[in-house]
Amino acid sequence: MNLFEYDIPEKDRELFTTLLTKEGVTIKRIVSNTLSTPQTFKQKCDEWVCVLQGYAQLQMNDTIYTLADGDTLFIPANTEHTLLKTKKVVVWLAVYIEEREV
């Protein structure tokens, strides 16, 4: 698999592809296409994202993060965050980490 071989979703949409799932960890590639309508998310698990290609603005709590090629962000579980906009196509690598019960 090549992370840069993907279908482009319609404008204002995202395409999620699960790359790997193992023992409480899921890795996904997300492709966002020219988002101009904010999209709000809230996962039950921790999420770490990396912009592989592109530019995006994301708001978490009262902070706006500007992310470009190579930038990363950790989003704690149950934290509402809003993808405000992207410029053209953005390719993300997202790692979801579920808390394991001991």
pLDDT at position 9: 96
Please state, for a pLDDT cut of 90, what percent of the chain lies above it.
Answer: 92
Of 41, 25, 52, 37, the residue nearest 75 (C-alpha): 41
CB under 8 Å to 62, separation ≥6 — which residues? none
Phi then psi dihedrals of residue 49, to 5 deg: -120, 150
Domains in the chain and their CATH numbers? Answer: 13-97 (2.60.120.10)
Contact criterion met (CB below 8 Å) for 32 and 54: yes
Structure confidence by residue, pLDDT tens digits, 12-38: 999 999 999 999 999 999 999 999 899
In the chain the first and final C-alpha atoms are separated, in Å, by: 34
Element (H, E) at 97: strand 81-97
